[in-house]
Amino acid sequence: MAAPASAPADSRSRPAVRDVVFVDGVRTPFGKAGSKGLYAQTRADDMVVKVIRELLRRHPRLPAERIDEVAIAATTQTGDQGLTIGRSAALLAGLPKSVPGFAIDRMCAGAMTAVTTVSSGIAVGAYDVAIAGGVEHMGKHPMGDGVDPNPRYVSDQIVDPSALIMGSTAENLHDRFPTLTRQRTDAYAALSQLRYDGALQAGKITPDLVPVSTRSEQGWGLASTDEPPRPGTTFEALSGLKTPFRPHGRVTPGNAAGLNDGATGCLLADADTAAELGLPAGMRLVGYAFAGVEPEVMGVGPVPATEKALRRAGLSIDDIGLFEINEAFAVQVLAFLEHFGIADDDPRVNPWGGAIACGHPLASSGVRLMTQLSRHFAEHPEVRYGITTMCIGFGMGGTVIWENPNHDAGGAR
């Protein structure tokens, strides 16, 4: 007898959701944007090629033809960041022409969205292995370059005009939360520099960096370390910096990430395929969420995104043992910490420093957070869950929850 029209489809057409694992991540050293920066004469797509080739070099048991997708994010998709950069970089990297690719944009969360997008495809069986990442050459393509905002944003009072200037949105966040003082943000920024330098000296940072050949007026060189960090930065030095976004404001070049160039990339796979190919599982994806907020206070976006992700995963903030929070502005990180009752200097938060020290090449940063969290997991089997989270221009936040495959239930947190 035929099944009634309301009956569900044959279960064979609805495959079970598969576990997604973060295999590995790498990045180029981050440079300062501008004519004197590391990558002033380096193409953005060539930086992506470097990370793709390095991922394959590190995992020789992965046949290139087994890669099902290459998703690369860029905020300003023009010039050497255009031409569907996921596909064009895959071809330039020497992947088989059968490997497709695409470009993606969610401003600062571009690489994060590349990861969540292809992870969703892996979970439902559309892909087995994928590469996701991001690139931003802010020296060639400043944020907002070539953009033509609709005048109705302002005339119809859809957004406050300050929403179009990221530094102004950070000042607005200070206004919204008076307890987030400049003193606290400067202290946090000094701590970020200190932690980054400590991690660098301990050999934690360099293993994830892909050296890049560079060219300048002085000739050829090799980028092998991050350019933005300022070791020895003190609270006292930061307190003397000017506030460019508002007279007598609180946001300075010292308590915010700079303008940077760089690329990131990672390998993602379903757990069974990873095991078949002998690929390591650095993290298991638990869930993710994106949320919108008022564009003029975009820095608060990680708060509702994290609440949404935790709720959907059936977890609470107390279940999270490690946090990688993008440091677009110190005030944005502190807004998150204060909301969840976490101390400004909590050792679980950005243990190796963050973007205030190493830089924030917009669309690339999400994978940097994930790569570092994966490394933390390997060192902390007592931690079961961690999150990567970031604010996103024009009023959004994104959060991804990860599980530690090295977790020791005996020392659970």
Active site residue ranges = 108, 360, 391
User: And the tokens for 30?
Assistant: 């981050």
Return d(Cα 182, Cα 171) in angstroms, integer: 10
Running DSSP on this structure, what letter comes out for residue 125?
Answer: T
Which residues, listed in sequence order, are joined to residue 376 by a DSSP beta bridge? none
Return d(Cα 325, Cα 339) in angstroms, integer: 14
Return d(Cα 342, Cα 335) in angstroms, integer: 10
Give the Cβ contact number of residue 120 at 10 Å: 15
Closest CA to 331 of 211, 183, 232: 183
User: And the tokens for 383?
Assistant: 């931690």
**Residue linked to tokens 């003193």:** 183
List Cβ neighbours of 389 (8 Å cut-off, separation of 6 or more). Answer: 302, 305, 306, 323, 324, 325, 326, 336, 369, 397, 398, 399, 400
User: And the tokens for 82?
Assistant: 């255009």
Return d(Cα 260, Cα 85) in angstroms, integer: 19
